[in-house]
C-alpha cells in the first residue's frame, strides 16, 4: 500500500511544468561606452525561446528597457552579452533573462559604472600682457561624464605644458573661466594650455603662446576724459612705475582712430612718475576722438588704455541775406549756413521784430534743414515800419544767429504791379509790359518797363513810357544787343514813388556775324589767296569761317566750294585751290 501511494505522488509531480532558471553573474571589460556582462542558464525548463541581458540607469531593469537578445538556446551554462552605446561615467543596472512560453524569467540584479572620459575644453587667447603677468582662461564644453574637480591654465617656456608645470587653480565645473597668470619673466615667450580634471584624468585645451613685454617700459594708465567742450577736453595719466629708468617725457596723444601714438597730436606734461593732467586743444566739434596717456624712458614709449570721447557740437555759423522785394507788408531775406557746428541743422529761417536782436521767440519763418543758402519770405508786416532781421539755424547744440540787418516797409500809396512775361524776342527787340492792379490811392502818372543786364533794373536804367493809369499795358523793348541776358521789370509811378513788378530774365537772339572779304591776291592758273575780317560775332561764338567761291555770282557754303579757316572773330587768310585757268570766279568770306 505504501509503495503504491508513493507511485501516485510521484506521478502527480511529473505532470507539473518545469520553470527555467537564470543567474546574473558579473560585468567585465567595463569602458566609457561599453561593457561585457555574463549570465548563467541553470535550468532550461521546458525550452527557451529567448535569452540575453537587459539594463537601465535605474534599478530593476526589464526587457522593456535596453536589452541584448541572444535568441533561443537549448544549452545550459554561461553566456555573455556585449553592451554598447553607453554613456561615460554612468551607473548601470543589469539582469540576465530568459523567456519561455511567452513568460520572462530574470536573474539577480548587478550594477557597474562606465568609466568617464577626460574633459573637452579650449584655451582663451592671452590678454593684458605685461612684463610679469597675463590673463588667459578657458571654456570647458564637456565634463566627460564626471564632475570637474579642478580647472585652470598651465604654462611653460616649452611647448605642451601640463599641470606638472606652473598652473592656476580656478574652481570647478564646466563653462568659461578666467585665469590670472603671474610670476612671469620679462621678454619671454610662454606656452599656455587650459586644463580640467575629473575622475578620468586631466584634459587640455589647445596651446596658445604669448611674449611678455620687454623690461624697462613704464607702467601707465589713462585718466578718464572730462570737461569736454566743442574744441577742448581734459585728460592725463598716472605713471605707477618708470620701468627702471627715468621718465623723460609724458603726456597724452589723441587721434580720430583707435590707439593713437606720439606721432599723432600730443601734449607734453613734464617728466617722472605719478599723476599728471593734460589739456587737449584744437579739437573739432561733434567728433569722436581716442586718447591714450604715454610715458617715454630709455626703453621706449609706453601707452595707457585707449579712451574714446566725443566733442560737443556748437551752434551753426551763418550770415543773414540782404533784404529785397520790400513792400508795405512783406519782404524777402534768407541766409547762408556755412557750418552746421558738427551736428545736423534741423531748422532754419529768419526771425524779425521792430526792436532789434530778434530771436526765434519773435516772428519767424521755417525754411527746411541742412547747410547752404536759403530764401525766406517775410509776411504780415506793417507799412512804413522799420524791422530788424536775423537768419537762424538750429542743431543739437542750440540756435545760431546771423548778422542783424534792418529794412523799412514801403509807405502806403505805392502802386501794385506785376511784370508781363517776355515774348516776341529778337536779336534787338522784345515784348513785355505789366498789369497795375492798384494805383495805391493816387493816380499812376507814368508806367512802362525798365531793363538792364543786371538783376532788378530801375527807371534809372533803360525804360519805356507806356501811358498812365492802372490795368494792362504792353511795352516794346528796343535797342537790345544780340545774344545778351537781360532783366526786365514793369514799373508804375505815382505821388508816393515808383513801384516795380517781378524781375524776369530773358536772352536776345544772336545774329549772324558781320564781316568783310579780303582782296584776292597771288592769282595763278589754279590758285589764289583771299580771306576775311570778322568785326562782330553777332552775340554768339563764331564756330566756322573761311571763303566760298563759284563761277556764278553770290556763292554760298551750301552750293559752292569753300575753305575752313578756324573759329572766332578777327582777320584770317584763305588759300583757294583747284581753280581752272582763264576762268572768272566770284568769292565771298
Rounded CA-CA distance 570/249 in Å is 73
Q: Is the dihedral of CA 65, 66, 71, 72 positive or negative?
A: negative
- DSSP letters, 13-74, are HHTSPPPPEEEEEEEES--SS-EEEEEEEEE-TT-BSEEEEEEESSSS--TTSEEEE---B-
User: Which pLDDT score is estimated for 352?
Assistant: 97
Of all helices (H) and strands (E), which one includes residue 6? helix 2-14
The reported pLDDT for the residue numbered 358 is 96
Question: In the structure grid, which three cell numbers stand for residue 501, read together?
Answer: 513788378
pLDDT at site 8: 42
Neighbours of 551 (CB within 10 A): 12
**CA dihedral angle for residue 547, residue 550, residue 555, residue 557, rounded to 10 degrees:** -60
Tell me the C-alpha to C-alpha distance, in Å, between residue 397 and each of 124, 341, 342, 470.
45, 8, 9, 53
Q: pLDDT at position 15, please? A: 56
Q: Identify the burial level of 339 via C-beta atoms within 10 angstroms of its C-beta, where 0-12 means exposed, 13-18 middle and 19 or more buried.
A: middle
- In this structure, what C-alpha cell is assigned to residue 573? 587768310
Strand 134-142 with 120-123, pairing: antiparallel
Average pLDDT for consecutive 10-residue bins of the chain (589 residues)?
40 66 96 94 94 97 96 95 92 96 95 91 95 94 91 97 96 96 91 95 94 87 95 96 89 97 97 97 93 93 96 92 93 95 93 96 96 96 92 93 94 89 95 94 91 97 96 96 95 92 95 93 95 90 94 91 94 95 95
Beta bridge partners of 516: 533
Q: What number of other Cβ atoms are within 10 A of residue 31's Cβ?
A: 13
Nearest residue to 302 (alpha-carbon basis) of 212, 221, 218: 218
**CB neighbours of 84 closer than 8 A, spacing ≥ 6?**
33, 34
CB 336 within 8 A of CB 328: no
Beta-bridge partner residues of 69:
52
Amino acid at each position: 500500500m505504501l509503495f503504491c501511494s508513493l507511485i501516485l505522488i510521484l506521478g502527480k509531480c511529473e505532470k507539473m511544468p518545469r520553470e527555467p532558471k537564470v543567474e546574473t553573474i558579473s560585468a567585465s571589460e567595463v569602458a566609457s561606452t561599453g561593457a561585457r556582462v555574463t549570465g548563467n542558464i541553470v535550468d532550461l525548463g521546458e525550452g527557451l525561446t529567448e535569452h540575453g541581458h537587459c539594463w537601465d540607469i535605474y534599478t530593476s531593469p526589464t526587457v522593456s528597457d535596453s536589452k541584448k537578445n541572444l535568441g533561443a538556446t537549448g544549452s545550459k551554462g554561461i553566456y555573455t552579452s556585449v553592451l554598447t552605446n553607453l554613456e561615460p561615467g554612468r551607473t548601470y543596472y543589469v539582469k540576465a533573462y530568459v523567456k519561455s512560453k511567452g513568460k520572462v524569467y530574470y536573474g539577480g540584479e548587478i550594477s557597474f559604472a562606465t568609466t568617464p572620459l577626460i574633459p573637452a575644453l579650449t584655451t582663451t587667447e592671452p590678454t593684458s600682457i605685461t612684463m610679469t603677468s597675463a590673463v588667459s582662461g578657458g571654456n570647458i564644453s564637456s565634463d566627460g561624464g564626471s564632475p570637474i574637480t579642478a580647472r585652470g591654465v598651465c604654462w611653460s617656456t616649452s611647448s605642451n605644458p601640463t599641470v606638472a608645470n606652473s598652473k592656476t587653480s580656478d574652481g570647478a565645473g564646466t563653462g568659461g573661466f578666467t585665469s590670472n597668470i603671474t610670476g612671469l619673466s620679462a621678454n619671454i615667450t610662454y606656452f599656455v594650455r587650459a586644463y580640467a580634471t575629473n575622475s578620468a584624468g586631466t584634459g587640455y585645451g589647445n596651446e596658445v603662446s604669448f611674449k611678455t613685454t620687454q623690461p624697462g617700459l613704464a607702467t601707465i594708465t589713462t585718466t578718464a576724459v572730462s570737461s569736454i567742450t566743442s574744441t577742448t577736453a581734459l585728460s592725463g595719466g598716472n605713471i605707477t612705475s618708470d620701468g627702471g629708468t627715468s621718465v623723460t617725457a609724458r603726456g597724452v596723444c589723441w587721434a580720430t582712430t583707435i590707439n593713437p601714438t606720439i606721432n599723432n597730436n600730443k601734449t607734453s606734461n613734464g617728466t617722472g612718475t605719478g599723476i599728471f593732467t593734460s589739456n587737449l586743444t584744437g579739437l573739432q566739434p561733434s567728433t569722436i576722438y581716442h586718447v591714450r596717456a604715454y610715458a617715454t624712458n630709455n626703453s621706449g614709449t609706453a601707452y595707457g588704455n585707449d579712451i574714446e570721447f566725443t566733442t560737443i557740437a556748437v551752434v551753426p555759423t551763418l550770415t543773414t541775406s540782404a533784404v529785397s522785394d520790400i513792400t508795405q507788408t512783406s519782404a524777402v531775406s534768407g541766409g547762408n549756413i556755412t557750418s552746421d557746428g558738427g551736428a545736423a541743422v534741423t531748422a532754419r529761417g529768419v526771425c524779425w521784430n521792430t526792436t532789434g536782436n530778434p530771436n526765434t521767440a519773435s516772428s519767424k519763418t521755417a525754411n527746411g534743414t541742412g547747410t547752404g543758402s536759403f530764401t525766406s519770405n517775410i509776411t504780415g508786416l506793417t507799412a512804413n515800419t522799420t524791422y530788424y532781421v536775423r537768419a537762424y539755424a538750429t542743431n543739437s547744440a542750440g540756435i545760431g544767429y546771423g548778422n542783424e540787418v534792418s529794412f523799412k516797409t514801403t509807405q502806403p500809396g505805392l502802386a501794385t504791379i506785376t511784370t508781363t512775361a517776355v515774348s516776341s524776342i529778337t536779336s534787338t527787340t522784345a515784348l513785355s509790359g505789366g498789369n497795375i492792379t492798384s494805383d495805391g490811392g493816387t493816380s499812376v502818372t507814368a508806367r512802362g518797363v525798365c531793363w538792364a543786364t543786371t538783376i532788378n533794373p530801375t527807371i534809372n536804367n533803360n525804360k519805356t513810357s507806356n501811358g498812365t493809369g492802372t490795368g494792362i499795358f504792353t511795352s516794346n523793348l528796343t535797342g537790345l544787343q544780340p545774344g545778351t541776358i537781360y532783366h526786365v521789370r514793369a514799373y508804375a509811378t505815382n505821388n508816393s514813388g515808383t513801384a516795380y513788378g517781378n524781375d524776369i530774365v530773358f536772352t536776345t537772339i544772336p545774329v549772324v556775324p558781320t564781316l568783310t572779304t579780303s582782296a584776292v591776291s597771288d592769282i595763278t592758273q589754279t590758285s589764289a589767296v583771299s580771306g576775311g575780317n570778322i568785326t562782330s560775332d553777332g552775340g554768339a561764338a563764331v564756330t566756322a569761317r573761311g571763303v566760298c567761291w563759284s563761277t556764278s555770282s553770290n556763292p554760298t557754303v551750301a552750293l559752292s566750294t569753300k575753305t575752313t579757316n578756324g573759329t572766332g572773330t578777327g582777320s584770317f587768310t584763305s588759300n583757294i585751290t583747284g581753280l581752272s585757268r582763264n576762268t572768272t570766279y566770284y568769292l565771298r568770306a
